[in-house]
C-alpha cells in the first residue's frame, strides 16, 4: 500500500469514527428518553398530577412539587429578569470602558463558573439565616436568581450588541437622551434575544436540585405552597427523593415525574428557540 | 432639567443592578470563610488536609478531606476520559468533514444533552447504566464512580464539542487551504494544523468541562454512593464533595454545630478548585485571543 493510499484510508476511517461519535451522544439521549417513557408513561394520569405526596407509591402524586416548581419559576423570573437585564444594559451601554465595568465583567465570568451547590451555601447563610426567611419559596428563588444572573446578563449583552449603532446614533441625533434611546430603540430591537436568554436561564433554574436542597427545600411537603413564605418542594427534589428509595414502584414514579419535568424544560427551550428565530427573521438590518 | 435627573437616577439603578454581582461574590467568599474559620477553630487544618478518613457524622469523628477530594477527582477523570475524545472528535468532524446541513442540525441537537436536568442523568446512571455495566462486570457495586463518571462525561460532551468547534471555526480559512494545497488529507490537516492552531480554545473548553464536572452534584449524589473513601477503584461506592454537602443538607443537622460547618469547609475546597480552573481558562483566553486577527 502506498503512502497516499494509507493516508486516504486513515482519513475515511476517521470520518466514520466522527459520525459514530456524533451519533453516540444522540443515541444515548434517545435511550434515556425511551427508557424513561417506557418506565413512566403508563403511570401518568390525572391523579398522579393532582395527588398529594404519599408513602404508598401507588397513591403518591406530584401536586405539591409541581406547584412548588411553578412558584419558583415565577418568583425567579420576577427577581432575576429586572436585575439581570438592568445589569446587562449597564455593562453594554453605560460603563463600557471604565475600570469598574471591566472588573464587573471578570467577576461575572467567574460567577458563571461557580458550582450551583455553592450558591446553595450562600443562600443558606444569607437568605435562610441572616434574612430569616427560613426554607421558604422566597429564599429558594432568591438563591436561584443569583445563580442564573450571569447567564441573563451575558445573553442580554449579546442581544444589545447585535443592534447596529446606526439606530442608536440616529435616535441620539434626533435629540433623544441616552435612556430614551435605550428604552425606545435598543430594547425593542433586541427584545427577542433578551427574552430568549431569560427563558433559557429560567429553564435551567427549574431543573436545579442541589442548591434548593442546601437552602432547605423539603423532600416531603404535605400541602401545596400558597405564599412566597411557605416551605416547599420542587419537581427535581421529588424525583431525587423517589430515586433514592429501593422499591421499584418509586422508580416508576420518578420516571413519570421526569417525563413531566422534561416536558416543561423542553417546552421552555422550544419557546426560546422559536422566539430567537422569529426575532432574527423579522429584523434584518 | 427633569430628564437629566431622571437619566441620572436610571443610570444609578442600572449600576446598582450590576453591582449585585459583586455582592454575590463577596457574599460567597465571606460566607465560606466565616464558617470555615469557625470550623478550623475546632479541627486542625493539618488533620483536615492529611487525615485519610472523613467521618464527621459518626461517633468516631475524622475530618480528613482527602477521601472526598479523591472521590471528586475520580469521577471527574472518568467523565473527562469519556467527554474529551468524543467531544474533540465531534468538533473536528463537524468542522472539517460534515456537510453544512449536518453541522447545522446536529450541533444544536447535541446541546440538548446539556439542557437535561442533572437529576434525570442521575436516574439514568442508577437505573440503566449501572445495571448494564453489571451485566458485563458482575462485581460492580450498585453505587459506583464508574457509572456516575460515564454519565457525567456524556453530559459534558456538548461543552467540549461546541466550544472546541467554535475555536476551530475561528481559525482563518487560509491555514486550512494552505494545508490542503500541500496535498494533506483532511485528517492530516485536522490534527497537524487545525487542532494545534485552535489549541488554546480547545484547552479552555476542556478546563470548563472539568470545572463543570467537579461541581456536578446530582449524578454523583444518586449514583456514586455516600461512602467517603480514599480509593481510585471505580467499582466501589465513594462520595464526592458535592454529594457530601447534599447528604448533610438532607439530614437534620443543627445550625452552628461542627457537623453543620463541615459543609462549608467542604464547600470552600470545591470553590478553590473551580476558582483556580476558571482563572486559568480566563487567563489562557485573554492571552491567546486574537492571535490570528
Residues A81-90: tens digit of each pLDDT: 999 999 999 9
CB-CB under 8 Å, A90 with B267 = no
In a domain, B164, yes or no: yes
In a domain, B136, yes or no: yes
Q: With CA atoms as reference, report the closest residue to B35 among A125, A210, A251, A140.
A: A125
Q: Are residues B145 and B12 in the same domain?
A: no
How many beta carbons lie within 10 A of that of residue B80, not counting itself? Answer: 20
Residue B292 has pLDDT above 70, yes or no: no
Residue B205 has pLDDT above 60, yes or no: yes
Mean pLDDT to the nearest integer, B37-47: 92
Q: With CA atoms as reference, report the closest residue to B31 among A136, A31, A167, A121.
A: A121
Q: Are residues B21 and B111 in the same domain?
A: no
pLDDT of residue B2: 64
CB-CB under 8 Å, A19 with B106 = no
Nearest residue of chain A to residue B279 (CA atoms): A110
In a domain, B141, yes or no: yes
User: Closest approach of chain B CAs to the CA of A96, in angstroms?
Assistant: 12
CB-CB under 8 Å, B97 with A118 = no
Q: With CA atoms as reference, report the closest residue to A216 among A144, A137, A116, A146.
A: A137
Query: Which residues from chain B sit within 8 angstroms of residue A14, using beta carbons?
Result: 89, 92-93, 97, 186-187, 190
Residue A220 has pLDDT above 80, yes or no: no
Domain count within chain B: 2
- Quick one: angle between helices B66-92 and B241-250, nearest 10? 120
Among the partner residues B187, B255, B270, nearest to A115 by beta-carbon distance: B270
Q: How far apart are CA B76 and CA B148, in angstroms?
A: 9
In a domain, B256, yes or no: yes
Residues in chain B: 293
- B280 interface with A at CB cutoff 8 Å: no
Give CA B13 to chain center in angstroms: 34
Q: Are residues B24 and B122 in the same domain?
A: no
Q: Are residues B23 and B161 in the same domain?
A: no
pLDDT of residue B291: 57
Q: With CA atoms as reference, report the closest residue to A123 among A234, A209, A237, A215.
A: A215
Written as nine digits, the cell of A176 is 433623544
- B260 interface with A at CB cutoff 8 Å: no
Mean pLDDT to the nearest integer, A219-227: 82
Written as nine digits, the cell of A50 is 393532582
Q: Are residues B147 and B199 in the same domain?
A: yes
Whether B202 and B83 have beta carbons less than 8 Å apart is answered as: no
Pick among A117, A122, A201, A203 to test the B interface (most B CBs inside 10 A): A117
In a domain, B94, yes or no: yes
Q: Are residues B77 and B13 in the same domain?
A: no
Nearest residue of chain A to residue B120 (CA atoms): A258
Q: With CA atoms as reference, report the closest residue to B141 among B52, B239, B282.
A: B239
pLDDT of residue A191: 87
Q: How far apart are CA A265 and CA B119, in angstroms?
A: 13
pLDDT of residue A192: 85
Q: Are residues B147 and B265 in the same domain?
A: yes
Three-state DSSP class for residue B39 = helix
Mean pLDDT to the nearest integer, B243-261: 88
Query: Which residues from chain A sit within 8 angstroms of residue B10, using beta carbons?
Result: 179
CB-CB under 8 Å, B126 with A262 = no
Confidence of residue A219 (pLDDT cuts 50, 70, 90): confident
User: Residues 65 to 104 of B: which have CB under 8 A from any A CB?
Assistant: 85-86, 89-90, 92-94, 97-98
Of A120-134, B66-80, B276-290, which range is least confident?
A: B276-290
User: What are the Cα distances from residue B115, in Å, to A208, A260, B26, B30, B158?
Assistant: 11, 15, 29, 31, 10
Nearest residue of chain B to residue A90 (CA atoms): B14
CB-CB under 8 Å, A21 with B90 = yes
User: Closest approach of chain B CAs to the CA of A166, in angstroms?
Assistant: 22
Q: How far apart are CA B99 and CA B107, in angstroms?
A: 12
Written as nine digits, the cell of B15 is 449600576
pLDDT of residue A56: 80
Written as nine digits, the cell of A242 is 423517589
Please provide the average confidence, as pLDDT, over all residues in chain B: 91
Among the partner residues A121, A125, A265, nearest to B115 by beta-carbon distance: A265
CB-CB under 8 Å, A35 with B124 = yes
How many beta carbons lie within 10 A of that of residue A136, not counting itself? Answer: 23
Please provide the average confidence, as pLDDT, over all residues in chain A: 89
Among the partner residues B22, B119, B274, nearest to A113 by beta-carbon distance: B274
Confidence of residue A155 (pLDDT cuts 50, 70, 90): very high
Mean pLDDT to the nearest integer, A46-63: 84
Residue with cell 464547600: B267
Mean pLDDT to the nearest integer, B229-255: 91
Residue A276 has pLDDT above 80, yes or no: no
Among the partner residues B24, B106, B119, nearest to A111 by beta-carbon distance: B24
Q: How far apart are CA A107 and CA A122, in angstroms?
A: 16
Mean pLDDT to the nearest integer, A264-285: 79
Per-residue DSSP letter, B129:
I
pLDDT in tens, B84-137: 999 999 999 999 999 988 888 888 888 888 889 999 999 999 999 999 999 999
Region of residue B17 (phi > 0: left; psi between -120 and 50: alpha; otherwise: beta): alpha
Residue B290 has pLDDT above 70, yes or no: no
DSSP letter for each residue of B4-15: HHHHHHHHHHHH
B195, exposed or middle or buried, with CB in 10 Å at 0-12, 13-18, 19+? buried
Whether the model clears a pTM of 0.95, i.e. scores above it, the answer is no
Q: Are residues B15 and B96 in the same domain?
A: no
* pLDDT-above-90 percentage for chain A: 55
In a domain, B55, yes or no: no
Which H or E element spans position B82?
helix B66-92
Q: Are residues B91 and B215 in the same domain?
A: yes
Query: Which residues from chain B sit within 8 angstroms of residue A153, using beta carbons?
Result: 18, 21
Mean pLDDT to the nearest integer, A21-33: 92
pLDDT of residue B104: 85
Q: Are residues B178 and B251 in the same domain?
A: yes
pLDDT in tens, A163-203: 888 888 999 999 888 899 999 999 988 888 899 899 999 99
DSSP letter for each residue of chain A: --HHHHHHHHHHHHHHHHHHHHHHHHHHHHHHHHHHHHHHGGG-SHHHHHPPP-SSTTT---HHHHHHHHHHHHHHHHHHHHHHHHHHHIIIIISTTSHHHHHHHHHHHHHHTS-HHHHHHHHIIIIIIIS---SBHHHHHHHHHHHHHHHHHHHHHHHHHTS-HHHHHHHHHTT--HHHHIIIIIHHHHHHHHHHHHHHHHHHHHH--HHHHHHT--S--SS---STTSB---HHHHHHHHHTS-SHHHHHHHHHHHHHHHHHHHHHHHHHHHHHHHHHHH---
Domain region containing B87: 66-288
Three-state DSSP class for residue B54 = strand
In a domain, B12, yes or no: yes
DSSP letter for each residue of A112-137: HTS-HHHHHHHHIIIIIIIS---SBH
Mean pLDDT to the nearest integer, B66-73: 95
| Residue predicted with more confidence, A1 or B2 | A1
Residue A101 has pLDDT above 70, yes or no: yes
| Residue predicted with more confidence, B251 or B35 | B35
User: Closest approach of chain A CAs to the CA of B59, in angstroms?
Assistant: 24
Q: Are residues B128 and B248 in the same domain?
A: yes
Whether A91 and B18 have beta carbons less than 8 Å apart is answered as: yes
pLDDT in tens, B11-22: 999 999 999 999
* pLDDT-above-70 percentage for chain B: 98
**All structural domains of chain A:** 48-282 (1.10.3720.10)
pLDDT of residue B91: 94
Sequence-ordered list of residues with C-beta below 8 angstroms from that of A247, at least 6 positions apart, any chain = A57
- ipTM over the 0.95 cut-off: no
Question: Domain with B266 in it: what CATH number?
Answer: 1.10.3720.10
Q: How far apart are CA A252 and CA A11, in angstroms?
A: 46
Whether B228 and B130 have beta carbons less than 8 Å apart is answered as: no
Confidence of residue A247 (pLDDT cuts 50, 70, 90): confident
Q: Are residues B281 and B208 in the same domain?
A: yes
Residue A285 has pLDDT above 90, yes or no: no
In a domain, B54, yes or no: no
Amino acid at each position: 500500500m502506498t503512502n497516499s493510499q494509507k493516508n486516504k484510508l486513515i482519513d475515511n476511517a476517521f470520518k466514520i469514527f466522527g459520525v459514530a461519535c456524533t451519533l453516540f451522544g444522540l443515541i444515548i439521549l434517545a435511550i434515556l428518553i425511551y427508557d424513561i417513557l417506557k418506565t413512566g408513561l403508563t403511570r401518568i394520569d390525572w391523579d398522579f398530577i393532582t395527588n398529594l405526596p404519599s408513602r404508598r407509591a401507588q397513591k403518591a402524586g406530584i401536586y405539591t412539587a409541581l406547584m412548588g416548581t411553578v412558584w419558583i419559576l415565577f418568583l425567579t423570573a420576577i427577581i432575576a429578569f429586572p436585575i439581570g437585564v438592568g445589569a446587562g444594559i449597564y455593562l453594554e451601554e453605560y460603563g463600557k470602558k471604565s475600570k469598574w465595568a471591566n472588573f464587573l465583567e471578570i467577576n461575572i465570568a467567574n460567577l458563571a463558573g461557580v458550582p450551583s451547590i455553592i450558591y446553595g451555601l450562600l443562600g443558606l447563610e444569607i437568605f435562610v439565616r441572616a434574612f430569616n426567611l427560613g426554607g421558604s419559596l422566597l429564599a429558594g428563588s432568591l438563591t436561584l436568581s443569583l445563580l442564573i444572573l450571569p447567564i441573563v446578563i451575558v445573553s442580554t449583552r449579546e442581544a444589545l450588541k447585535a443592534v447596529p449603532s446606526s439606530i442608536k446614533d440616529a435616535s441620539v441625533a434626533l435629540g433623544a437622551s441616552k435612556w430614551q434611546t435605550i428604552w425606545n430603540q435598543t430594547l425593542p430591537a433586541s427584545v427577542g434575544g433578551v427574552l430568549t436568554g431569560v427563558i433559557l436561564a429560567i429553564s435551567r433554574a427549574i431543573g436545579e436540585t442541589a442548591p434548593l436542597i442546601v437552602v432547605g427545600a423539603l423532600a416531603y411537603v404535605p400541602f401545596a405552597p400558597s405564599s412566597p413564605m411557605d416551605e416547599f418542594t420542587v419537581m427535581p427534589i421529588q424525583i431525587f427523593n423517589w430515586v433514592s428509595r429501593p422499591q421499584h414502584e418509586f422508580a416508576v414514579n420518578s420516571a413519570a415525574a421526569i417525563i413531566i419535568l422534561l416536558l416543561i424544560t423542553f417546552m421552555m427551550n422550544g419557546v426560546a428557540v422559536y422566539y430567537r428565530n422569529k426575532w432574527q427573521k423579522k429584523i434584518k438590518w | 432639567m427633569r430628564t437629566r435627573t431622571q437619566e441620572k437616577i436610571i443610570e444609578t439603578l442600572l449600576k446598582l443592578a450590576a453591582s449585585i454581582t459583586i455582592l454575590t461574590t463577596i457574599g460567597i467568599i465571606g460566607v465560606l470563610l466565616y464558617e470555615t474559620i469557625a470550623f478550623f477553630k475546632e479541627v486542625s487544618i493539618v488533620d483536615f488536609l492529611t487525615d485519610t478518613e472523613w467521618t464527621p457524622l459518626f461517633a468516631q469523628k475524622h475530618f480528613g478531606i482527602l477521601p472526598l477530594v479523591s472521590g471528586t477527582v475520580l469521577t471527574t477523570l472518568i467523565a473527562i476520559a469519556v467527554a474529551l475524545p468524543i467531544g474533540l472528535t465531534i468538533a473536528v468532524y463537524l468542522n472539517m468533514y460534515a456537510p453544512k446541513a449536518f453541522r447545522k442540525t446536529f450541533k444544536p441537537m447535541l446541546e440538548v444533552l446539556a439542557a437535561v436536568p442533572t437529576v434525570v442523568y442521575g436516574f439514568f446512571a442508577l437505573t440503566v447504566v449501572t445495571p448494564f455495566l453489571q451485566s458485563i462486570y458482575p462485581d460492580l457495586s450498585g453505587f459506583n464512580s464508574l457509572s456516575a463518571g460515564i454519565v457525567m462525561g456524556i453530559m459534558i460532551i456538548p461543552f467540549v464539542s461546541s466550544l472546541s468547534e467554535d475555536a476551530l471555526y475561528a481559525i482563518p480559512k487560509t491555514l486550512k487551504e494552505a494545508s490542503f494545497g500541500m496535498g494533506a488529507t483532511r485528517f492530516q490537516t485536522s490534527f497537524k494544523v487545525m487542532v494545534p492552531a485552535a489549541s488554546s480554545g480547545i484547552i479552555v473548553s476542556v478546563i470548563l468541562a472539568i470545572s463543570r464536572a467537579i461541581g456536578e452534584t446530582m449524578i454523583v449524589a444518586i449514583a456514586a454512593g455516600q461512602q467517603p473513601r480514599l480509593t481510585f477503584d471505580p467499582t466501589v461506592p465513594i462520595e464526592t464533595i458535592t454529594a457530601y454537602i447534599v447528604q448533610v443538607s438532607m439530614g437534620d443537622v443543627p445550625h452552628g454545630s461542627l457537623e453543620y460547618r463541615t459543609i462549608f469547609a467542604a464547600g470552600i475546597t470545591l470553590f478553590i478548585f473551580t476558582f483556580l480552573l476558571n482563572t486559568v481558562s480566563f487567563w489562557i483566553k485573554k492571552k491567546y485571543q486574537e492571535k490570528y486577527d
